[in-house]
Structure 1
C-alpha cells in the first residue's frame, strides 16, 4: 500500500460568520486565521480545499514524535542511526537539509530542531523511520494520527512533505512520482493548534532565527521573527514554512497578542524565487487584518449572557432561574463590540428544570452571537458554551406545591 488518504469531507460548518472587514484581499490560494486555544475562526479563504503543503508536513511529524515521547516510547536524548539512503538524501542539491552521516547517530532533540528551524528533510525522514521503522509505515501513521485529530482532508506520502520522486530510493513504489502530502488550511490550523497545546515548547524552537547542528550554524527560514510592525504587542514565534512547485510558497504562522495565541495558514502564495517574501507579506497582512479589526473579549465565569431567557423550575422554591456560563470564555469580536454585546442562542432550550437543582451543574448550552451572526469554529473544537444555574434551588414544600397546582387549575 503506497497511498494513505483520509476521506474528503463535504460537510460544511453550521456557523457561517467570521468577522467581516473591508481590508485588502489575501493573495494566496487558501488562508485561515484562528484562535489556537478556542478554535474560533477569525478569517478564512478557501480554507477547506486540500492543497499541497510541502514542508508544513513536518508539523505532523513533530506532533507524532512528541506523542511517542509522552507515551514513553521515545526520549529526547534517544539517538537515531542514519541509513545510507537517508544520508544520501541529506546531501541532495536543491533540498533543504543538514548533512547526516550514514551509520552515525543523532539525538531526537537535534533532528526535531533541524526539521523545524531549517526544514531539514532528511532529519524528518529519519525521525519517521525511528518511530515506525520505515517511511511507508510512518506515512500510514501520519494518516491515522490525522484521523485521531479530527482531520478529514489529508494525504500523506512521507514525513518531510517532499514530492514522492524526490525521496530517491525511499519513494513509495505504489504512489505516483509527483504525489505529495495534501491538507486543507483549516486542517493545518487544527494540527498547529493541537501541537502548540500538547507541546508548548515547540515555539521555543520555532522562534529561533538560527541554529547549530553538528558544529555548523544554519539560518532559519521564518522572516517574520522579530517583526514588530504587525501590531503593538504582537509577537511572532513560529511556526513552519513549506515550498514546492505544486504547493507554491506556504507558511503556518504563530503569534501571541493580548494574551491570546493565534495560528495563521497561508497556502499557495507567490513563489518566484527561493527568497520570495510573498508568504510572509501575506501572513503579516492577515495578522494585521485580525489584530487591527478585532479584539478578544472575556466572558467571565458565571457571566449572564444576553438573549437567554430564564428557565422555569416549576417545583422549586424559586420558580425560575437564570442560566450563566460554567467557565470563562474568550471570543474575538469587532473592536466596536463589547463583551456585554455578545449574545447567546440556546442550542436546545430546556422547557423546564427539575429539583433539587445544583449550582454549577450543566443544564444547557448556547451558541454565541454578535450582531445576529454566529461565531465560527474549527471542526473538533467546542462551538458552544455550557450553561449552569446561577443558584441552587431546593424543592418547594408540599403545601406550596399544592397551592401552585390549585392556582394553575383556576
Structure 2
C-alpha cells in the first residue's frame, strides 16, 4: 500500500514504522473474515482493512473526525487479523500508532474523557484498585446490575509455598489480578514449587503498561514498562531463568518491551533482555511435561471448555499448549466452535464499548455451553471476569485445575 506521509509524521520513528507496516498490506481482505466487529456490524470501516485505510488517511494529513475515532475505538485489538493475514501485516502496532494520532486531533466528549482518565488512573495501580474492589464487593448486592457484573465475588488467596529452590523465575504479580483472583498466582507458585522452581515476585513491579498504552497514553505506558524493568533487573542479573506470565494480556505486552523501548538509550538493551526472558506459564510448564505427568493424578473429572485468549493465540501465537497440559492431567478439555474469536473483554473494551462487548460475550458463552462442559477455563484474568459476568458456570484459570490435580 503506497503511503505519502504528511510533514507532521515524516522522518519520525512512528511514521517510519507505520509506513513499513502499510507497505505490506495488499488489500486482500482475508482479515475481514476473522474480524469480530466486522462480523457483527458488516461495515468495511469496522474491519481491519477499512481501519487501515483510515489510519493511512491520518498519516497522509487528511481530516480526522469523530467517526474516524469511533471506528478505531470499536477495534478490539484482538489481532485475529494478524493470524489470518498472508502478508504479515502487524496491524496491532499500526492501530496503536493510529489511535494515538487521532486522540491528539479529536477532542472526546466529557464523559468519554472522564471514563478513560479513571481507567488509566485506577486499574494500573494495585494499591488503588484493590481497596476499591473490596469496597465494591462489600456493596455488591446493592450495586446496579451493570456495575455488579464488573465486580466479581471475593476469592480466597491460596497458600504460597515457602520452600527455597536453586532454580528461580520471576513472576509478574500484575495490577488487577491479585485483587480479582488471588489464587491464580499462588496456584502457579505451588505447581512450579512441586517441580523444583521458586517463583519470585519483585515488589516494585506492577502494571505491565498495556492499559495506558492501549488507551493512547504511550508515555504513561512506557513509564510502567521502565518501572518493571528496574524492579526485575537485579533478579535478571542474579540469574533468574525466566519471567513468568499468568495473564496472557500482560505476556503479550512484556514480550513487546524490546520493540516499544528500542529508541530509549537507557532501556533498549534491558528491555530486549526482559522480552527474551518472558514466557507464558503454558510455555514454562510444557518444558516440564515428563515431570508434570509423573506427578499428576489422572482422576478424570468434569468436561472443561477452554477459551484461548486472543492475547495468547494471536498476540503471542501460542496454541495447543494449555490443552495439552490439561489432557495430561486427565481432563476432558474441549474447544468451542469459532474458538479463534474474541470473547469481547479486550482490556478496557468491555467498559468503553459495552454493547458490542456483551454481544461477543453472549455468542462466546453460547458456543462454550454447546460443548457440554460444566466448567470454563481461560488464561487471562480479563477474559475470566468478563465471561463469568454472563454465566452461572464457574470460570477459572487453567492452572488452578493443574494445581488441584497434583
TM-score category, normalised to shorter length = under 0.3
Structure number with the bigger relative contact order (C-alpha 8 A, sep ≥ 6) is: 1
Larger radius of gyration: 1
Larger helix fraction of residues: 2
Normalised TM-score (structure 1): 0.27
Normalised TM-score (structure 2): 0.27
